[in-house]
Amino acid sequence: MEERKVLRGKSPRIDTRPYEWSSKLKHKDIQMFGKKTITKNSHIWGQILMDRQMIKGKHSWNVVIDKDSCGSKYIGVCAPTKRFDQVLTSNCSFEFFAYRSHKGNKISASGGEEAYAKSYGRGDVITISLVFQNHKGTLSFAKNDEDQGIAYEDLKPPLYPMVSLYRGDQISILD
């Protein structure tokens, strides 16, 4: 039987504000359809953030992969940045923590890439959960309501919801 870590201490407050993509915190080639759906049309990697700084409490949001053209996209969180044209690797200019689609790996700027969970693609719903306790965040993911476990612990705020897309990818936030 797999052992799961349990968060102890005071229960964090749940943030109930709606999740929406930011029209200002994004790569110039990411196209928005309202505030919930985004697509990427150029041959360059690009990121988009949500206009939501997360520093405490409990945060959880769902996205669906509407279109999957290149087989690799990244969903997670990142530190504040003004660069939205990065390939997410250990050479990235900002800190990020993400779940990579075609390999199911977890990846961060400071820790590199390693095996984590099941891969995901078109039609899959990914749930992202970030819980702050004692000024440290724990990030976990679920695929189609199946818990993939804790990906990262001891994350320092502030963090923003983020995805990184390539040409032909489309992702929507689910309410």
Eight-state DSSP code of residue 132: E
Beta bridge partners of 146: 143
Per-chain mean pLDDT for the chain: 88
Q: What is the pLDDT of residues 61-118, one digit of tens each?
A: 999 999 988 768 999 999 988 888 877 776 777 899 999 998 999 999 988 899 999 9
Alpha-carbon distance of 108 to 3, in angstroms, equals 24
Q: Give the Å distances, CA to CA, from 55 to 38, 79, 137, 160.
A: 25, 11, 8, 9
Q: pTM surpassing 0.85?
A: yes
Say if CB 113 and CB 100 are below 8 A apart. yes
Joined together, the tokens standing for residue 78 give: 């990142």
The arrangement of secondary structure in 21-174, i.e. its CATH architecture, is Sandwich (2.60)
Mean pLDDT, to the nearest integer, of 49-59? 93
pLDDT of residue 5: 45
Return the SS3 of 60: strand
Query: Phi/psi of residue 44, each to 5°?
Result: -130, 140
Return the SS3 of 78: strand
Say if CB 106 and CB 118 are below 8 A apart. no
Highest mean pLDDT among 31-45, 68-82, 100-114, 151-165: 151-165
pLDDT of residue 4: 40
